[in-house]
Amino acid sequence: MIDHHGRNINKLRISLSEVCNMACTYCVTSLSDHKRSPDELNADQMLYLIRILKEYSGIEKVRLTGGEPLMHPKAVQVISGIRDMGLTNIGMTSNGQLLARKAEALAEAGLKSVNISLDSLDPEKFKRFGRVGKLHKTLEGIEACLINDMRVKINMVVIKGENDDEIVKMLEYGVTRGVEVRYLELMGMGPLYKKDDFKLVEMSEILEKISEKYSIQTVSADSDSTSLRYWVPGGYFGIIPNNSAPFCSTCSRLRLTSDGQLIGCLSNPSPISIRHLLNHPDPVVPLQKLVKKSVAFKQDATFTGSSLVMSRVGG
Protein backbone atom coordinates (compact mmCIF):
# COMPACT_ATOMS: atom_id res chain seq x y z
CA MET A 1 0.00 0.00 0.00
CA ILE A 2 1.55 3.29 -1.15
CA ASP A 3 0.39 6.27 0.92
CA HIS A 4 -0.13 9.87 -0.20
CA HIS A 5 3.49 10.68 0.71
CA GLY A 6 4.82 7.91 -1.53
CA ARG A 7 5.76 5.58 1.34
CA ASN A 8 5.32 1.82 1.04
CA ILE A 9 3.27 0.81 4.09
CA ASN A 10 4.39 -2.81 4.45
CA LYS A 11 5.00 -3.27 8.17
CA LEU A 12 2.26 -4.38 10.58
CA ARG A 13 2.62 -3.95 14.33
CA ILE A 14 0.11 -6.02 16.25
CA SER A 15 -0.91 -5.48 19.86
CA LEU A 16 -1.79 -9.06 20.78
CA SER A 17 -3.13 -7.90 24.14
CA GLU A 18 -3.17 -4.71 26.17
CA VAL A 19 -2.29 -6.72 29.28
CA CYS A 20 1.24 -6.38 30.63
CA ASN A 21 3.11 -7.82 33.61
CA MET A 22 5.07 -4.60 34.10
CA ALA A 23 4.00 -0.96 34.43
CA CYS A 24 6.84 1.21 33.15
CA THR A 25 6.62 4.78 34.40
CA TYR A 26 6.80 6.30 30.91
CA CYS A 27 4.04 3.99 29.63
CA VAL A 28 1.30 3.94 32.29
CA THR A 29 0.48 5.47 35.67
CA SER A 30 -0.02 2.08 37.35
CA LEU A 31 -0.30 -1.64 36.63
CA SER A 32 -4.10 -1.32 36.69
CA ASP A 33 -3.92 0.81 33.52
CA HIS A 34 -3.18 -2.37 31.59
CA LYS A 35 -6.64 -3.77 31.03
CA ARG A 36 -7.57 -6.52 28.60
CA SER A 37 -9.94 -5.22 25.96
CA PRO A 38 -13.40 -6.75 26.45
CA ASP A 39 -13.45 -7.33 22.69
CA GLU A 40 -9.95 -8.83 22.43
CA LEU A 41 -9.62 -11.03 19.35
CA ASN A 42 -8.91 -14.70 19.83
CA ALA A 43 -5.98 -16.29 18.00
CA ASP A 44 -8.00 -17.47 15.00
CA GLN A 45 -9.65 -14.08 14.54
CA MET A 46 -6.33 -12.26 14.78
CA LEU A 47 -4.73 -14.61 12.26
CA TYR A 48 -7.59 -14.08 9.82
CA LEU A 49 -7.17 -10.29 9.92
CA ILE A 50 -3.39 -10.61 9.54
CA ARG A 51 -3.86 -12.93 6.58
CA ILE A 52 -6.17 -10.63 4.65
CA LEU A 53 -3.90 -7.65 5.40
CA LYS A 54 -0.99 -9.66 4.04
CA GLU A 55 -2.82 -10.87 0.94
CA TYR A 56 -4.69 -7.70 -0.02
CA SER A 57 -2.80 -4.76 1.51
CA GLY A 58 0.85 -5.55 0.91
CA ILE A 59 1.98 -6.37 4.45
CA GLU A 60 5.40 -8.05 4.34
CA LYS A 61 6.77 -7.70 7.88
CA VAL A 62 5.04 -8.35 11.19
CA ARG A 63 5.96 -7.43 14.75
CA LEU A 64 3.99 -8.66 17.75
CA THR A 65 3.76 -6.19 20.61
CA GLY A 66 1.43 -5.35 23.45
CA GLY A 67 1.12 -4.83 26.32
CA GLU A 68 3.35 -7.82 26.74
CA PRO A 69 2.71 -10.19 23.82
CA LEU A 70 3.76 -13.24 25.83
CA MET A 71 0.84 -12.62 28.20
CA HIS A 72 -1.38 -13.79 25.33
CA PRO A 73 -2.13 -17.48 25.99
CA LYS A 74 -1.65 -18.45 22.33
CA ALA A 75 1.25 -16.23 21.31
CA VAL A 76 3.24 -19.22 20.03
CA GLN A 77 0.30 -20.43 17.93
CA VAL A 78 -0.17 -16.96 16.46
CA ILE A 79 3.49 -16.89 15.40
CA SER A 80 3.32 -20.31 13.78
CA GLY A 81 0.12 -19.26 12.02
CA ILE A 82 1.81 -16.16 10.62
CA ARG A 83 4.75 -18.28 9.44
CA ASP A 84 2.36 -20.65 7.70
CA MET A 85 0.99 -17.71 5.70
CA GLY A 86 4.40 -17.35 4.10
CA LEU A 87 5.50 -14.36 6.16
CA THR A 88 9.07 -14.98 7.30
CA ASN A 89 9.94 -11.59 8.74
CA ILE A 90 8.35 -12.04 12.17
CA GLY A 91 9.54 -10.06 15.17
CA MET A 92 8.42 -9.36 18.71
CA THR A 93 8.89 -6.61 21.27
CA SER A 94 8.92 -7.91 24.83
CA ASN A 95 9.95 -6.92 28.34
CA GLY A 96 11.67 -10.31 28.57
CA GLN A 97 10.11 -11.48 31.82
CA LEU A 98 8.66 -14.65 30.26
CA LEU A 99 11.20 -15.19 27.50
CA ALA A 100 13.54 -17.65 29.19
CA ARG A 101 10.94 -20.42 29.38
CA LYS A 102 9.32 -19.65 26.02
CA ALA A 103 12.27 -18.82 23.75
CA GLU A 104 12.73 -22.31 22.34
CA ALA A 105 9.05 -22.69 21.45
CA LEU A 106 8.97 -19.20 19.94
CA ALA A 107 11.98 -19.93 17.75
CA GLU A 108 10.49 -23.24 16.60
CA ALA A 109 7.24 -21.44 15.74
CA GLY A 110 9.08 -19.05 13.43
CA LEU A 111 10.01 -16.00 15.50
CA LYS A 112 13.16 -14.47 14.01
CA SER A 113 13.92 -11.44 16.16
CA VAL A 114 13.14 -9.97 19.56
CA ASN A 115 13.49 -6.38 20.72
CA ILE A 116 13.80 -6.51 24.49
CA SER A 117 13.02 -3.55 26.72
CA LEU A 118 15.81 -3.06 29.25
CA ASP A 119 16.15 0.36 30.85
CA SER A 120 18.68 -0.44 33.57
CA LEU A 121 21.22 -3.06 34.59
CA ASP A 122 20.73 -2.16 38.23
CA PRO A 123 18.11 -4.40 39.93
CA GLU A 124 16.67 -1.61 42.08
CA LYS A 125 16.42 0.85 39.19
CA PHE A 126 14.93 -1.83 36.98
CA LYS A 127 12.14 -2.44 39.45
CA ARG A 128 11.59 1.27 40.01
CA PHE A 129 11.12 1.89 36.28
CA GLY A 130 8.86 -1.12 35.77
CA ARG A 131 7.16 -1.01 39.19
CA VAL A 132 7.12 -4.82 39.01
CA GLY A 133 9.40 -7.34 37.36
CA LYS A 134 12.87 -8.70 38.05
CA LEU A 135 16.04 -7.81 36.20
CA HIS A 136 17.45 -11.34 36.23
CA LYS A 137 14.40 -12.65 34.35
CA THR A 138 14.92 -10.21 31.48
CA LEU A 139 18.66 -10.98 31.36
CA GLU A 140 17.90 -14.71 31.30
CA GLY A 141 15.42 -14.05 28.50
CA ILE A 142 18.11 -12.32 26.44
CA GLU A 143 20.48 -15.26 26.85
CA ALA A 144 17.72 -17.75 25.95
CA CYS A 145 16.96 -15.89 22.72
CA LEU A 146 20.63 -15.87 21.75
CA ILE A 147 20.93 -19.60 22.46
CA ASN A 148 17.97 -20.18 20.15
CA ASP A 149 19.54 -18.13 17.33
CA MET A 150 17.09 -15.25 17.40
CA ARG A 151 18.32 -11.76 16.57
CA VAL A 152 18.19 -9.62 19.68
CA LYS A 153 18.13 -5.86 20.12
CA ILE A 154 17.91 -4.07 23.44
CA ASN A 155 15.62 -1.03 23.70
CA MET A 156 16.69 1.41 26.43
CA VAL A 157 14.47 4.41 27.10
CA VAL A 158 16.87 7.06 28.39
CA ILE A 159 15.58 9.31 31.18
CA LYS A 160 17.54 12.30 32.45
CA GLY A 161 18.78 11.90 36.01
CA GLU A 162 17.50 8.34 36.26
CA ASN A 163 19.40 6.04 33.92
CA ASP A 164 21.46 8.29 31.63
CA ASP A 165 24.50 7.34 33.72
CA GLU A 166 24.13 3.78 32.34
CA ILE A 167 24.35 4.64 28.63
CA VAL A 168 27.92 3.37 28.22
CA LYS A 169 27.39 0.44 30.59
CA MET A 170 24.43 -0.75 28.53
CA LEU A 171 26.41 -0.41 25.31
CA GLU A 172 29.19 -2.56 26.75
CA TYR A 173 26.69 -5.15 27.91
CA GLY A 174 25.35 -5.38 24.37
CA VAL A 175 28.70 -5.36 22.58
CA THR A 176 30.05 -8.27 24.63
CA ARG A 177 27.04 -10.35 23.53
CA GLY A 178 26.82 -9.23 19.92
CA VAL A 179 23.55 -7.46 20.72
CA GLU A 180 22.70 -4.04 19.29
CA VAL A 181 21.54 -1.54 21.90
CA ARG A 182 19.05 1.09 20.76
CA TYR A 183 18.59 4.20 22.86
CA LEU A 184 15.11 5.72 22.72
CA GLU A 185 14.31 9.35 23.32
CA LEU A 186 11.21 9.74 25.47
CA MET A 187 7.95 10.15 23.58
CA GLY A 188 5.11 12.39 24.72
CA MET A 189 2.55 9.61 24.95
CA GLY A 190 0.25 8.31 27.67
CA PRO A 191 1.29 9.68 31.09
CA LEU A 192 3.95 11.92 29.47
CA TYR A 193 1.56 13.66 27.08
CA LYS A 194 1.80 17.44 27.63
CA LYS A 195 3.76 16.85 30.83
CA ASP A 196 5.92 19.79 31.91
CA ASP A 197 8.78 17.91 33.62
CA PHE A 198 9.74 15.89 30.56
CA LYS A 199 13.09 14.27 31.40
CA LEU A 200 14.28 14.10 27.82
CA VAL A 201 17.82 13.03 26.98
CA GLU A 202 18.49 14.10 23.40
CA MET A 203 20.47 12.20 20.78
CA SER A 204 23.39 14.65 21.00
CA GLU A 205 23.76 13.92 24.73
CA ILE A 206 23.74 10.17 24.15
CA LEU A 207 26.40 10.45 21.46
CA GLU A 208 28.49 12.73 23.66
CA LYS A 209 28.51 10.25 26.54
CA ILE A 210 29.52 7.36 24.29
CA SER A 211 32.16 9.39 22.44
CA GLU A 212 33.89 10.17 25.73
CA LYS A 213 35.03 6.53 25.77
CA TYR A 214 34.67 5.20 22.21
CA SER A 215 35.23 6.38 18.67
CA ILE A 216 31.92 6.46 16.79
CA GLN A 217 31.20 6.04 13.11
CA THR A 218 27.84 6.53 11.42
CA VAL A 219 26.70 3.48 9.44
CA SER A 220 23.74 2.92 7.15
CA ALA A 221 20.34 1.66 8.27
CA ASP A 222 17.26 0.59 6.33
CA SER A 223 15.62 3.51 4.53
CA ASP A 224 12.46 3.16 6.64
CA SER A 225 14.24 2.42 9.91
CA THR A 226 13.17 4.34 13.00
CA SER A 227 16.75 4.42 14.28
CA LEU A 228 19.99 6.06 13.28
CA ARG A 229 22.80 3.50 13.44
CA TYR A 230 26.39 3.76 14.62
CA TRP A 231 29.51 1.61 14.96
CA VAL A 232 31.92 1.46 17.87
CA PRO A 233 34.88 -0.93 18.10
CA GLY A 234 33.31 -4.34 18.70
CA GLY A 235 29.73 -3.69 17.69
CA TYR A 236 26.83 -1.41 16.81
CA PHE A 237 24.23 0.73 18.51
CA GLY A 238 21.28 2.78 17.39
CA ILE A 239 19.33 5.83 18.53
CA ILE A 240 15.62 6.27 17.97
CA PRO A 241 15.45 10.09 18.03
CA ASN A 242 11.72 10.70 18.36
CA ASN A 243 12.33 14.36 19.18
CA SER A 244 15.78 15.23 17.81
CA ALA A 245 15.35 13.75 14.33
CA PRO A 246 11.78 12.51 13.84
CA PHE A 247 11.35 9.59 11.46
CA CYS A 248 7.75 10.34 10.45
CA SER A 249 8.71 11.06 6.85
CA THR A 250 9.89 7.46 6.33
CA CYS A 251 7.29 5.65 8.47
CA SER A 252 6.09 2.42 6.84
CA ARG A 253 3.99 1.10 9.74
CA LEU A 254 0.37 0.21 10.16
CA ARG A 255 -0.89 -0.85 13.58
CA LEU A 256 -3.56 -3.39 14.49
CA THR A 257 -5.04 -3.28 17.99
CA SER A 258 -6.00 -6.32 20.01
CA ASP A 259 -9.70 -5.67 19.31
CA GLY A 260 -9.32 -5.32 15.54
CA GLN A 261 -8.81 -1.63 14.82
CA LEU A 262 -6.25 -0.10 12.50
CA ILE A 263 -4.14 2.86 13.66
CA GLY A 264 -2.37 4.63 10.82
CA CYS A 265 -0.49 7.35 12.70
CA LEU A 266 0.52 7.89 16.33
CA SER A 267 0.16 11.65 16.00
CA ASN A 268 -3.32 11.27 14.53
CA PRO A 269 -4.53 8.00 16.09
CA SER A 270 -8.00 7.73 14.61
CA PRO A 271 -9.07 4.09 14.88
CA ILE A 272 -10.58 2.35 11.87
CA SER A 273 -12.25 -0.93 12.76
CA ILE A 274 -11.81 -3.95 10.49
CA ARG A 275 -13.26 -6.38 13.02
CA HIS A 276 -16.54 -6.64 11.12
CA LEU A 277 -14.65 -8.14 8.17
CA LEU A 278 -14.35 -11.37 10.17
CA ASN A 279 -17.88 -12.15 8.99
CA HIS A 280 -17.75 -10.53 5.58
CA PRO A 281 -18.28 -12.90 2.64
CA ASP A 282 -15.88 -10.95 0.40
CA PRO A 283 -13.62 -8.65 2.48
CA VAL A 284 -11.15 -7.59 -0.22
CA VAL A 285 -12.66 -4.32 -1.45
CA PRO A 286 -13.87 -3.05 1.97
CA LEU A 287 -10.52 -3.96 3.53
CA GLN A 288 -8.55 -2.03 0.94
CA LYS A 289 -10.81 1.00 1.38
CA LEU A 290 -10.43 0.88 5.17
CA VAL A 291 -6.65 0.47 5.01
CA LYS A 292 -6.44 3.40 2.61
CA LYS A 293 -8.56 5.48 4.99
CA SER A 294 -6.36 4.59 7.96
CA VAL A 295 -3.14 5.27 6.07
CA ALA A 296 -4.52 8.66 4.99
CA PHE A 297 -4.21 9.81 8.61
CA LYS A 298 -0.43 9.51 8.34
CA GLN A 299 1.49 12.73 8.69
CA ASP A 300 4.79 13.70 7.10
CA ALA A 301 6.03 15.78 9.99
CA THR A 302 7.18 15.65 13.59
CA PHE A 303 5.45 13.43 16.14
CA THR A 304 3.12 15.73 18.04
CA GLY A 305 2.23 13.53 21.00
CA SER A 306 -0.80 11.52 22.04
CA SER A 307 -2.74 10.73 25.19
CA LEU A 308 -3.02 7.11 24.06
CA VAL A 309 -1.25 4.49 26.13
CA MET A 310 1.33 2.73 23.93
CA SER A 311 0.01 -0.74 24.80
CA ARG A 312 -3.25 0.22 23.14
CA VAL A 313 -1.67 0.86 19.75
CA GLY A 314 0.99 -1.81 19.67
CA GLY A 315 4.31 -0.32 20.69
Q: What is the pLDDT along the chain (315 residues), one digit of tens a residue?
A: 677 677 788 999 999 999 999 988 888 777 767 778 889 999 999 999 999 999 999 999 999 998 899 999 999 999 999 999 999 999 999 999 999 999 999 999 999 999 999 999 999 999 999 999 999 999 999 999 999 999 999 999 999 999 999 999 999 999 999 999 999 998 765 555 456 666 889 999 999 999 999 999 999 888 667 789 999 999 999 999 987 877 677 788 999 999 999 998 887 778 999 999 999 999 999 999 999 999 888 776 666 656 566 656 655
Q: What are the C-alpha distances in Å from 268 to residues 229, 294, 304?
A: 27, 10, 9
For position 251, what pLDDT does the model report? 82
Q: Are 135 and 123 in contact (CB under 8 A)?
A: yes
For position 1, what pLDDT does the model report? 64
For position 190, what pLDDT does the model report? 55
pTM of the model: 0.91
Please give the angle made by the CA atoms of 254, 114 and 178, to the nearest 5 degrees: 130
For position 248, what pLDDT does the model report? 72
Based on its alpha-carbon atoms, the radius of gyration of the chain, rounded to whole angstroms, reads: 19
Please give the Cα distance from 69 to 47 (Å, whole number). 14
Give domain 11-310's CATH architecture.
Answer: Alpha-Beta Barrel (3.20)
For position 314, what pLDDT does the model report? 56
Q: Are 256 and 47 in contact (CB under 8 A)?
A: no
Please give the Cα distance from 224 to 226 (Å, whole number). 7
| C-alpha 204, offset from chain centre | 23
For position 310, what pLDDT does the model report? 62
E-assigned strand segments in 215-271:
217-219, 228-232, 235-240, 253-256, 261-263
Angle between helices 123-130 and 135-147 (to 10 degrees): 100
**Sequence spans of domains, the chain:** 11-310
Please give the Cα distance from 224 to 227 (Å, whole number). 9
For position 169, what pLDDT does the model report? 98
